[in-house]
Amino acid sequence: MDKDELKLITKICYLYYYEEEVQSKIAKRFNLTRQMVSRLIQKAKDEGILKIIIASPVQEVIGLEADLESKYGLKEAIVVQSDTLDDIELVKKVGKASGEYLSKVLMNKLNVGIGFGLAIQSMAEYIHGQSIDYDFKDVNYVQLTGGINSSSSFDNSQYIMNLLAQKTMSHVSCMNIPSIIDDEKMRDTISESMHYQKFMDAYNNLHYAFVQINPADRIYYSADKSINESGKTYLNRLGISYLNGIDAVGEVCLNYFNDRGHFVETPINDQIMGITSKKLKSVKNLVGIAAGKASHDAALGAIRAKAFDILIIDEDTARYLLDN
């Protein structure tokens, strides 16, 4: 490149990026075609004359999002900055980002599945705290898992759905049964009921489902008091060694998966009342939410399952997924 061409390219780049002149005006000024101006700008990039720097505080997370979408074939990845928060506050922040995403995609005539967990509750609280003018009367929030035996509000899907419905004037479909039923006869009766079959049909027509990706080491208690009194629990009946033996690293709506991304069958799968792994994988837009170091392996197993379309996570979890 001679001195005159270098000077011309430099001047064109200056006018285009600093003076914000349109290419057609630059072309007229130098008696060139617009296509020639475009080629000279590209040449400046190729030759290293022009270097574009994006000075944005969210530049790094944008790059992580693009890399995740490319590596795992996601429709969308949303990464939030960790900001040295502890795991609980980080989960809440990722939950807020999930609420922002829900408010963006919400529209009439949507069926939206709702799981449970602190991130899901934080999502609902964000929506509940926003000023929303639009009336979403045709939106239906569908409970994905029966009631969790817990005193924590974030385990209560019905409470979470009511928060969402109150603000958006939408409908809720509540299951009103426990998440785990030990008694086979009772379980069969409920499974064959019209009420339960309505949910099985609804799971086939979900436009979105928002679920929290959990580590596999949480204890879920049965609704059967006699079993709780004897010290047996959902997890204890499987056993930590059992879960380790099948490489279980996480669960979504009580569906366990291993570190290779395969959903695994357990001896008590039939006792779980709610959406199955097969139906989860068929949701049009399955949104997985995870945050904190404790969820790293669970998030990796979940993303390897190729069930999720949208992932909302913190930046440290994003780097972990990209490094493995």
pLDDT in tens, 91-150: 999 999 999 999 888 888 899 999 999 999 999 999 887 766 566 668 899 999 999 888
Both 39 and 163 in one domain: the answer is: no
- Alpha helix locations (H) across 73-224? 87-105, 118-128, 157-168, 184-191, 194-203
Q: Between residues 283 and 234, which one has the greater pLDDT?
A: 283
Give the whole-angstrom CA distance, residue 145 versus residue 176.
10
Does residue 112 sit in the same domain as residue 36?
no
Give the separation between CA 82 and CA 160, rounded to whole angstroms: 25
145 in the same domain as 9: no
Q: Which residues are paired to 258 by β-bridges?
A: 248
Give domain status of residue 275, yes or no. Answer: yes
> Is 242 part of a structural domain of the chain?
yes
DSSP-based helix, strand, coil % in the chain, nearest 5? 50, 15, 35
Give residue 198's Cα distance to chain centre: 25
Q: How many domains does the chain have?
A: 2
Q: Which residues contact 128 (CB under 8 A, 6 or more apart)?
A: 163, 164, 166, 167
Residue 52 lies in a domain: no
Pair (146, 280) in one structural domain: yes
Which residues, 6+ apart, have CB-to-CB distance to 207 below 8 Å? Answer: 110, 111, 112, 284, 285
Q: Is there a single domain that holds both residue 83 and residue 194?
A: yes
Same domain, 13 and 67: no
CATH code at position 159: 3.40.50.1360
Does residue 31 sit in the same domain as residue 120? Answer: no
Domain span including residue 243: 59-323
7 and 70 in a single domain? The answer is no
Residue-wise pLDDT tens digits, 64-73: 999 999 999 9
The predicted structure's pLDDT at residue 49: 87
Identify whether 53 is part of a domain. Answer: no
In a domain, 30, yes or no: yes
Residue range 149-199, pLDDT digits in tens? 888 899 999 999 999 888 777 889 999 998 888 888 998 999 999 999 999
- Here the CATH number for the domain that contains residue 40 is 1.10.10.10
Task: Reply yes or no on whether the pLDDT at 267 is more than 90.
Answer: no
Query: Is there a single domain that holds both residue 122 and residue 34?
Result: no
Shared domain check, 96 and 11: no
pLDDT tens-digit map of 7-23: 888 889 888 888 888 99
Task: Note whether residue 298 is domain-resident.
Answer: yes
Residues 7 and 73 in one domain: no
